[in-house]
Amino acid sequence: MDISDALRRMDLNLVVPLNALLEQRHVTRAAESVGIGQSAMSAALGRLRRLFGDPLLVRNGRVHELTPMGQSLIEPVRTVLVGLEQMLATSPHFDPATDERTFTIVASDYVTLILLRPLLERLYREAPHVAVNVIPVSGTTEVELERSQVDLVIMPHEIISPAMAHFPQRALYTDRYVAAVWNEHREVSDILEVGQLTTLRYVRYHSTSGGPAFVDVQLARLGIHPNVALSTLSFTLVPWMLPGTSLFAFVHERLVNSTPARRELKVLEPPVPLEPLVETMFWHPLFHNDPAHYWLRECVTKLAASL
């Protein structure tokens, strides 16, 4: 049986039990997870087995396992369930002055400081009942976006995966890399030399997903491998690591100019050509026409244009 055809014919009351069974792989735990009795969940499983012509969940020793059909249903059922949740949560109108809504945005600490912090100030004035949950970019970000578990993802277009390129998106603003050292650095005057990129001690940003920063990708392409003395998972910490040391770093120009550590730093032009970053906003198509989501995207876009 074609899976999409089965889902179209299925009683929508079975979607939630089916999702619970696929996740828990146990009738009792599935029943507890959705707040119904074990007998009701067993009855639902029986109806599902007849609908799909497959046992879906089978015992293997002391554990239960999904059949191949059950495995193949995990993502389609999750998509259907998320779509239903979104449909029920969507209102034809949204009034930011009175309506309540919580949005989840995936962004780096750099984007949070430069863009989202001022956004929260605006929301506090214009939408007092709207809350924002910011979570960091990670190795699960793409999956969270695919499953519409997050409202927005903001990250450089230059580092996204091919799959993310297919999501609705909007470029927000551009930033470039500059070099920075302590303003009393003994080995660096007003110009950073190419040779110093490998002799000076380097502060490197490394993402939680394990990938290098875009600047380090570009340096590697040029055959330049800095002498890494310190690695950090935080963009915003990098400028603070430099005062009073012999370290150097490449930092986002907007970031370094916004930090109080700027007065202790010497900001220099990179001695090699580096491409800028285009911070881009991505969202799931399910949210595209939601009035509240549209309002949020417009707020982010207008604020980014004013940076």
In Å, how far are 25, 34, 115, 169, 235 from 110, measured between CA atoms?
40, 39, 8, 19, 6
Indicate if the alpha-carbon torsion angle 50, 51, 53, 55 is positive or negative: negative
Q: Are residues 14 and 56 in the same domain?
A: yes
Counting the structural domains of the chain, the total is 3
Instruction: Give the pLDDT score at 122.
Output: 87
pLDDT in tens, 189-229: 889 999 999 999 999 988 766 578 899 999 999 999 999 99
CATH number at residue 28: 1.10.10.10
Name the percent of the chain lying above pLDDT 90: 50
Mean pLDDT of 277-304: 92
Last residue of one domain, picked from the residues 89, 119, 137: 89
Mean pLDDT of 172-181: 96
Instruction: Check whether 5 has a pLDDT greater than 70.
Output: no
pLDDT in tens, 32-70: 888 888 888 888 888 888 888 888 888 887 778 888 888
Instruction: Check whether 81 has a pLDDT greater than 90.
Output: no
Domain limits for position 253: 177-275
Average pLDDT value over all residues in the chain: 88
Q: Are residues 289 and 265 in the same domain?
A: no
Instruction: Give the pLDDT score at 243.
Output: 95
In Å, how far are 6, 33, 37, 90, 216 from 47, measured between CA atoms?
12, 19, 16, 30, 55
> Whole-angstrom Cα distance, residue 161 to residue 158?
9
Nearest to 306 by CA among 102, 130, 122: 122
If one compares 133 and 7, the residue with the highest pLDDT of the two is 133
Two structure tokens written together for 146: 């695919």
Band of residue 301 on the pLDDT scale cut at 50, 70, 90:
very high
Estimate to the nearest angstrom the gap between the alpha carbon of 200 and the chain centroid: 33
In Å, how far are 37, 71, 94, 195, 241 from 66, measured between CA atoms?
21, 6, 42, 58, 51
Q: Are residues 249 and 288 in the same domain?
A: no
CATH number at residue 139: 3.40.190.10
Instruction: Give the pLDDT score at 10.
Output: 62
pTM of the model: 0.73
Q: Are residues 298 and 240 in the same domain?
A: no
Instruction: Give the pLDDT score at 236.
Output: 92
Amino acid (one-letter) located at 222: L
Instruction: Check whether 263 has a pLDDT greater than 80.
Output: yes
Q: Are residues 59 and 125 in the same domain?
A: no
Instruction: Check whether 2 has a pLDDT greater than 80.
Output: no
Band of residue 171 on the pLDDT scale cut at 50, 70, 90:
very high
Residue 39 inside a domain? The answer is: yes
